[in-house]
Amino acid sequence: MQSHKLLLDVEEEHFYLIAIYSSLEGYKMAYFINKYLKIKLERERRDIDFNYADYQAVYALYSHKDPNTYRNFYLVSNKFKGEPKKILSSGSLFAEEEVRPQEVNLIPEYGRVDYFLKISEEIEQKEFTRILTKVAQIPQIQTAHAVEVNKIKSKQNLIFE
């Protein structure tokens, strides 16, 4: 029997990524980024959700589509802290349930990052540096830095459409 192999040529999405370290809640982070970058990030109706073996993880997603420059800005949480789907049995006679919240990251390679700011569409390096500088100037952010997208193994997790 003859076998056929189909090759799928998928065009990769090109985007820029800023890693943000901050203890702010998502809506506060979106507010400050809006204020400093003069954009209008709004919470999406649907969050990013992933079904892991033991967890149903949900990551908050905020977006802004700029009609003038055709750029899309996405602010996504990198951390989800939740309870496992399965309840672990302690093995005792009585029904004791042990539930331990666990932190699951959207991008596991960057486990300490709290948020990612994704910028779609081509922009000049000078403009990207200006955006990164403005984000880093927000007093509630400990630090922010650019991330090389090509080195991320799980970058498919950052494709939201």
- For residue 60, pLDDT over 50 is answered with yes
Averaged pLDDT for residues 135-151? 93
Please give the structure tokens belonging to residue 126: 């000078």
Backbone Cα Rg of the chain: 19
- Count of CB atoms situated within 10 Å of the CB of 114: 18
* Residue 142, pLDDT score: 95
Query: Across the chain, where does the E strand assignment appear?
Result: 15-21, 42-43, 48-51, 56-59, 61-65, 72-77, 79-82, 88-89, 97-98, 102-105, 115-120, 143-147
The pTM is what?
0.80
Q: What is the DSSP string of 105-151?
A: ESSGGGTT--EEEEEES---HHHHHHHHHHHHT-TT-SEEEEE-GGG
Q: What integer best gives the mean pLDDT of the chain? A: 83
The answer to whether 12 and 26 have CB atoms below 8 angstroms apart is no
Instruction: Read off the pLDDT of residues 72-130 as tens digits, 9 standing for 90 and up.
Output: 999 999 998 766 655 555 555 555 555 666 788 889 899 999 999 999 888 889 999 99
158: number of Cβ within 10 Å: 19
